Structure 1
Amino acid sequence: MQKYLEVLVDNKALIDKALTLVTAKINEAVATKERCTIALAGGNTPKPLYQALAQAKLPWEKIHVFWGDERYVRETDPLSNQKMAREVWLTPVNFPPDNIHPMPTSSGDPAKDAYNYQRDLLDHFQLSPGDLPVFDLILLGMGDDAHTASLFPQTEALTVNDRLITVGSKDGEPRLTFTVPLINAAACVIFLVTGANKQQALKQVFAPEADGMLYPTRLIQPQGELWWLLDQEAGANINSET
């Protein structure tokens, strides 16, 4: 694993850096193999990045978009990660519909939908059960409890290592999420973390020793590159040697 850490002066600088990095990774993948697979994060932090990507000139027809996690709500729900990304990025650029791969959340059975999304991933990557897709890029955020995707502290989802997609839980509400092994198979993972409320979690994530069941983001150790982009508030107590 190659690890990179940058503490940016403010949110604008963080988004500018993320935009440069994401566009470079997309273009690199397309140049190498004529396609790029990217998994999106939800929440408020990546929204301005998606808005910036909507202004970029990229080969949309060669990019396939997935989601690393999703609340178990309809795609029209204001809380839907898919809805946000569509509104600020995918719809404005007329992204090819066949290249958008949202997590299914409408069957009423989260476990069934998790299985179906796993099957869709295997089909898309042309893999057999038991194989791990290698995403070119996975975008992640981190909560003040050190959760990432929908991998929350001391939940069963953290221990799932025989599936690509599992059902996470937040305050009793189900969510679909990539599993730790799927995330760690990626060629590149980029964390976008902002806000002073993340300082304590980051301290534990970067500590020499701490429990991954309590601080799930510690479990993310991809085989490829790991980028941490922090704003000054989040990274106030972090240095580049961490």
Structure 2
Amino acid sequence: MKMHDLNLPEAVDAHFFDTPDDAGVALADAVARHLSERLLIAPRASLVVSGGSTPLPFFQALREKPLDWARIDVLLADERWVPEDDEASNTRLVRENLLQGPASEASYLSLKQPGETPADGLSAVEAALADLHLPLDVLILGMGNDGHTASLFPDAPELDGVLDTDSAAIVAATTPPSQAHKRITLTLRALSRAGFTALHIKGDDKLKTLQDACADIGQIKEMPIRAFLRPGLQIFWSA
């Protein structure tokens, strides 16, 4: 599909790049700028990232930025409930690709804690995030072809609670039947108020998903990414 086919909501900006490396570098520049600005006025800054292969060029560009990394808290928007050495672990991905070089000084707040299931480990996750300052400063989201983001899956039986912004919970266990692993995720309440939010995607299939999401933006449970298609969102797409 063509870029002009997108009917984005007002004040949602999209940036299009020829390669994933170009998109990753541009996103890293934007994130570094926002983190630097935050650290000028606050003792710490928070950076929430997403897993998968798409953010790898972004991680590798951002980790070299001359930020005061010791004052930055890094965490995932969601995580599969698997051991850290599992190939499916996004914690492993972040440690190997982002928390290297200068960025190794950052504090990593892990969503994977002891427990057989996310529900078993939920209290430990909440304790790990006890000092996390809200609202979040920088949030980088991904998106699946079903319109999910973080672990806000349309088929998750826990979705209503995760989307409830009146709930005090900032983290929740989810068990979407479509997925091979149980999940732990930040809730919409925690995710929706970030100072800077970017959606980082690649490929024509994700443009098609985004087009579908924009077509009926009020139906959030059908495509939870719709909750973030609002003024201020920055979209970084590459072929």
TM over 0.5, yes or no? yes
- Report the CA distance shift for 1:214/1:17 in structure 2 as closer, same or farther (over 3 A): same
Cα RMSD, aligned residues only: 2.2
Matched position secondary structure for 2:237: strand
Distance 1:28 1:119 in 2: 28
Distance 1:203 1:168 in 2: 26
Counterpart of 1:90, as a letter, is L
Matched position secondary structure for 1:192: strand
Q: Percent identity?
A: 25
Please report the TM-score for the alignment, with normalisation by the length of structure 1.
0.83
Q: Which residues of structure 2 form unaligned runs of 5+?
A: 1-9
* Matching of residues 1-242 of structure 1 within 5 Å: 3-93=12-102, 95-96=104-105, 99-125=107-133, 133-160=134-161, 161=164, 162=167, 163-170=169-176, 171=179, 173-209=181-217, 211-220=219-228, 225-231=232-238, 233=239
- Report the CA distance shift for 1:157/1:18 in structure 2 as closer, same or farther (over 3 A): farther
Distance 2:11 2:191 in 1: 15
Please report the TM-score for the alignment, with normalisation by the length of structure 2.
0.84
- Report the CA distance shift for 1:112/1:203 in structure 2 as closer, same or farther (over 3 A): same
- Report the CA distance shift for 1:165/1:74 in structure 2 as closer, same or farther (over 3 A): same
Per-residue deviation at 1:140?
Answer: 0.7
Distance 2:190 2:229 in 1: 11
| 1:119-159 alpha-carbon deviations (Å, 9 max, x no partner) | 4323333xxxxxxx210011111111111111111323331
Regions of 4+ moved over 4 Å: none
Distance 2:145 2:227 in 1: 16
| 1:56-115 alpha-carbon deviations (Å, 9 max, x no partner) | 211111111111100100111121111111112214336237x11111243113113233
Aligned residue pairs: how many?
Answer: 223
Per-residue deviation at 1:190?
Answer: 0.9
